[in-house]
Amino acid sequence: MDVSTCSSARPHRSTLGSIGKCRSVWCRWSRFAAGRREVGRWVGDTAQRLTGRHGGKVARTYGTALRGFEVTVSAGAAARIAADPAVAYVEQNHTVSISGTQANPPSWGLDRIDQRNLPPDSSYTYPNTASNVHAYIIDTGIRFSHNDLGGQATSGYDAVDGGSADDCNGHGTHVAGTVGGSSYGVAKGVQLVGVRVLNCSGSGTNAGVIAGVDWVTQIANVSGEAADGTWRLQVRDIYSADTGYLNSWTLTV
């Protein structure tokens, strides 16, 4: 289970870039054959049981991509929660941000990816447009009015302020254009779904990213970096056999 609290009980990772009293608690769940609703209820019940006993405020729960919850709690309470048999571990929530991008990348990429041998043939040939595929862009959102996206992008989930996943930064729109834009996109007919986990300045939290990934059950494109290595294990846990595939990932260790 993932419980995001803001102190550092049972610290087995660094706390570089940590946030106040926010932590992530990862719990043990052995009933793999259980349905999604049953898992969700178990997560919610466990979160309420632990915070009812030890204190803290539950911000959100995760029951699809992983089992856990985000909670604001004191260091002492986090340590007590970490000692519960249902808890795998507790870790501190961290800030995350988009990684650096090249402002004017060369345009030979599409020409290069459709053939194995050089030289390029000055064309991009593709067998289909992936119009039956939904690509979830977990990033700063998508600017749905962008001409290059041709109305194929929709708002899916906003972990920042609970509103629309409209992009006010630009990074997510750039990624969406690379995935499915009419000019520079690889899959030109793909249905793009914006999952906003980073704000207008391009930053967010581990807990917000986890909430976005938890919402997504199909293909996800994740752009971001954490100041430490915590995402490596989180991605391992999140992308299990019954979830989607990770198309893109940037991690600064």
Burial of 1 (0-12, 13-18, 19+ CB in 10 A): buried
Residue 205 CA to residue 226 CA, distance in Å, equals: 9
Q: Give the CA distances from residue 195 to residues 58, 100, 139, in Å, rounded to whole numbers and listed in that order.
A: 22, 20, 6
Q: Is residue 232 domain-shared with residue 113, that is, in the same domain?
A: yes
Note the pLDDT of residue 252: 26
Q: Is residue 114 domain-shared with residue 234, that is, in the same domain?
A: yes
Going by C-alpha positions, the residue among 194, 160, 161 that lies closest to residue 177 is 194
Note the pLDDT of residue 22: 58
Kindly give the parts of the chain with pLDDT less than 70. Answer: 1-36, 99-107, 217-253
This prediction has a pTM of 0.71
Residue 21 is assigned to a structural domain of this protein:
yes
Cβ contacts of 251 within 8 Å, gap of 6 or more: 225, 226, 229, 231, 232
- Count how many domains the chain has: 2
Contact 229, 13 (CB under 8 A): yes
Cis peptide before 119 (omega within 30 of 0): yes
Note the pLDDT of residue 11: 35
Note the pLDDT of residue 228: 57
Residue 253 is assigned to a structural domain of this protein:
no
Residue 102 is assigned to a structural domain of this protein:
no
Residue 249 is assigned to a structural domain of this protein:
no
Locus of tokens 């290059």: 148
Note the pLDDT of residue 81: 92
Residue 53 is assigned to a structural domain of this protein:
yes
Domain residues for the domain of 207 are 109-238
Q: Looking at residue 100, what DSSP letter applies?
A: P
Q: Is residue 149 domain-shared with residue 183, that is, in the same domain?
A: yes
Residue 248 is assigned to a structural domain of this protein:
no
Per residue, the 3-state secondary structure of 34-75, as one string, reads CCHHHHHHHHHHHHHHHHHHHCCEEEEEECCCCCEEEEECCH
Q: Is residue 222 domain-shared with residue 118, that is, in the same domain?
A: yes
Q: Is residue 90 domain-shared with residue 114, that is, in the same domain?
A: no
Two tokens, residue 176: 């969406």
For residue 192, what is the domain's CATH number? 3.40.50.200
For residue 81, what is the domain's CATH number? 3.30.70.80
Q: Give the CA distances from residue 156 to residues 48, 68, 196, in Å, rounded to whole numbers and listed in that order.
A: 28, 21, 8
Contact 124, 133 (CB under 8 A): no
Q: Is residue 187 domain-shared with residue 87, that is, in the same domain?
A: no
Cβ contacts of 115 within 8 Å, gap of 6 or more: 121, 125
Q: Is residue 83 domain-shared with residue 172, that is, in the same domain?
A: no
- The DSSP H or E segment spanning 97 is strand 87-97
Note the pLDDT of residue 88: 87
